[in-house]
Amino acid sequence: MSEDQRRELLANEQDILKALGDRPYDIESMAAISNIYRAAAAIRRRAEAGVLADVGLSWGGFAALWVLYIWGQMETSRLATECDLSKGTLTGILNTLESRSFVIRERPIEDRRKMLVELTPTGAKVIGDLSPRFNQFESETAAGLTAAEKQQLASLLRTIIGGLADSD
């Protein structure tokens, strides 16, 4: 982030404070959560426009391939949960991935209500080739942080995620 962008972000936060006046808001939490959202959106946009565009994947498509690459075949309901996607959104993503021969879906004979998804050899090659480049993108994105800061940030975000999971 350039110094001008940093100043603009801080100025925006000051504008929010002025607009809220004397009302009792937890400004520190507001700033922390809104900046998590901004950071996540910026990372997603940059990844989709860069490394993921090279292979024509959306963020959701990448997430689905990655989860299947790491954990193997699974039911669509678990895949949706692991990718933090609605089942409807996942269906659209899987339609695209299947049309590109990256995944296959099948209903197990023992329970036709379930749908299993697995990578094809083509899908495994795509995500296997893409993952080092995506990790390079992650490294470049976090380059302004020390190793200790990266660990601290990951820990703090896990705390927030854990607090949200506890309230589900």
CA dist 114 → 2, 43, 50, 91, 125 (Å):
49, 34, 35, 13, 26
Q: What is the pLDDT of residue 153?
A: 96
Phi, psi angles (nearest 5°) of residue 102: -90, -30
Amino acid, res. 126? V
SS (H, E, C) 124-137: HHHHHHHHHHHHHH
Q: What is the pTM of this model?
A: 0.83
Q: What is the pLDDT of residue 167?
A: 61
Using DSSP, state whether 145 is helix, strand or coil: coil
Name all domains of the chain by residue range, CATH numbers in brackets. 1-49 (no CATH), 56-144 (1.10.10.10)
Instruction: Report, as an integer, the average pLDDT of 154-162.
Output: 93
Amino acid, res. 55? V
The pLDDT tens digits for 92-142 are 999 999 999 999 999 988 887 889 999 999 999 999 999 999 999 999 999
State the CB neighbour count (10 A cutoff) for residue 97.
Answer: 26
